[in-house]
Structure 1
Amino acid sequence: MQLKIGVMGGAGNDVPDNFLRLAALLGERIAEADCILVTGACPGLPLAAARGASERGGMVIGISPALSLDEHAYHYGSPTLAHDVLIFTGSGLMGREVVNIRSSDIVIIVGGSSGTLGELAIAYDEGKLIGVLTGTGGISDMVKTILETCQKATGARVLYSDDPQQLVTDLLEVYRTEHFRHPSVFCRGNEHEPMLSGAEGKRDAVCGMTVPPGQAAARRKREEVEYVFCSLRCAEKFDERPRRYLESTTE
């Protein structure tokens, strides 16, 4: 399954050209890495990223606040071009933010104001891997201060860079080597916890969460060893790359 990278940022029409170019480079790199780009289906910086990804042949999914295509285009004045799929949530701008974040494996913040701040808060609270493209104004240049003020341990990991292509490369490296084990607060265990068995339950080979006896969402058997999973998502990840997880459980 391809990773989904959400680009959340300023949706205004008065964004400086150099910021738009940086967002486009983000989209290009996401497509080149064979990842799916997720945006709020809005103008501004997310649209620039969508165009960049589209030009490189990448898939772009737009999460719309609208109930229909007409409402999307005429009420919200949002774009349809450069998106392969538009999902109409009917949730309004604030409700759409939750869907944006939960649909993304990795979240990147670019510029932005109050809406982007809301998306940052959701991503951080839910333990996402977050990238911040610095030097693009707005919220992105205040994230460090905001998070230092919060002082809240959520499991989120935040990377900063003013180079859009390097930022995507670094995020993918961290996700694939570390963060894949606990991609969100809803699926996070202690990776240092020993494998448990018997009445105590077993540890999910993908996310590390301890699965109580009789509560596994899925099971798999490899070489006479049974593995249990807290969710179908973890089981699917195991099916895609079993060797990766089998090797990590024997280290």
Structure 2
Amino acid sequence: MIIGVFGSAAGTSPGLEQQAMLLGQFIAQAGATLITGACQGLPYAAVKGAKTHHGDTIGCTAVTHEQLHESMMGTSANDFDQLIFIPNDFPHKQLHQVCLKYRNVVAVSHCDAAVFISGRWGSLNEFTIAYDIGKPIGVLTGSGGMTEFLPTLLEAFQKPSKSRLFFNEQPKVLIQQLIENHQTNE
């Protein structure tokens, strides 16, 4: 099972980083693989949590090759067991903002379930992708950011989705819910 962790790349706090590390830890302890957008902040804290528990990690980076990764994304390529790059033939590969959105689609499409912690516009974009394509979604409640507005947005838009949503304030319980859901629906 591959579980994505999506959240704020900047403007985080030590408390939120600890929560993200716990998400990564519990993903690794469950034997699942963690995928992120290979960025800084909360997703990178989740990677660190997974790696301290010998978990496998995949990074979907918004650059075309490893030499650009650390300077453009601000994370170490060594922390990922696999990096997925923007294809060299992508017509907008020189437009970093476009590559970030391309990366969002690729990262979300690769996961079996997606977890959201805090987040801003990019995380909201990843959430709408996951919701539109019917991925199981876990939301770490109490983490702030865009996660606080999801219940209101879901009610306001009333868009049907095959997504199953889980809201919980405990990282361990949230990961357990997603894994149980995956096992039940295999």
Q: 2:148 aligns with which of 110, 128, 141?
A: 141
Which residue of structure 2 lines up, in the alignment, with residue 228 of structure 1? none
What does the per-residue CA deviation read over 1:77-100, in whole Å, with 9 as the maximum and x for residues that have no partner? 343242221111256101100001
Structure 1: tracts of 5 or more residues without a match: 181-251
Which residue of structure 1 lines up, in the alignment, with residue 106 of structure 2? 99
Q: 1:175 aligns with which of 157, 165, 182?
A: 182
How many angstroms apart in 2 are the aligned matches of 1:75 and 1:136? 26
Q: How many residues align?
A: 176
Identity score, percent: 38
The one-letter code of the counterpart of 1:114 is W
The one-letter code of the counterpart of 1:166 is V
> 1:85-164 maps to which residues of 2 (within 5 A)?
85-90=82-87, 92-164=99-171
How many angstroms apart in 1 are the aligned matches of 2:146 and 2:76? 23
Say whether residues 1:75 and 2:72 are aligned partners: yes
> 1:181-200 maps to which residues of 2 (within 5 A)?
none
Which residue of structure 1 lines up, in the alignment, with residue 96 of structure 2? none
| 8 Å CA contact retained: 1:42, 1:79 | no
Point out which structure has higher relative CO (alpha carbons under 8 A, 6+ apart): 2
SS at match of 2:159: coil
Note the aligned Cα RMSD (angstroms): 1.3
What does the per-residue CA deviation read over 1:106-162, in whole Å, with 9 as the maximum and x for residues that have no partner? 000111100000000000000110000111111122211111112011211110000
| 8 Å CA contact retained: 2:38, 2:73 | no
Which residue of structure 2 lines up, in the alignment, with residue 7 of structure 1? 5
Which residue of structure 2 lines up, in the alignment, with residue 22 of structure 1? 19
SS at match of 1:6: strand
How many angstroms apart in 2 are the aligned matches of 1:109 and 1:65? 19
How many angstroms apart in 1 are the aligned matches of 2:159 and 2:45? 32
Q: Which structure is larger by alpha-carbon Rg, 1 or 2?
A: 1
SS at match of 2:114: strand
| 8 Å CA contact retained: 2:23, 2:172 | yes
Structure 2: tracts of 5 or more residues without a match: 88-92, 94-98
How many angstroms apart in 2 are the aligned matches of 1:82 and 1:67? 18
- Offset at residue 75 of structure 1 (A): 2.9
SS at match of 2:165: strand
Which residue of structure 2 lines up, in the alignment, with residue 37 of structure 1? 34
> TM-score under structure 2 normalisation?
0.90
Superposition misfits of 4+ residues, deviation over 4 angstroms: none
The one-letter code of the counterpart of 2:4 is G
How many angstroms apart in 2 are the aligned matches of 1:93 and 1:125? 18
How many angstroms apart in 2 are the aligned matches of 1:155 and 1:118? 17
> TM-score under structure 1 normalisation?
0.68
| 8 Å CA contact retained: 1:43, 1:79 | no
Which residue of structure 2 lines up, in the alignment, with residue 48 of structure 1? 45
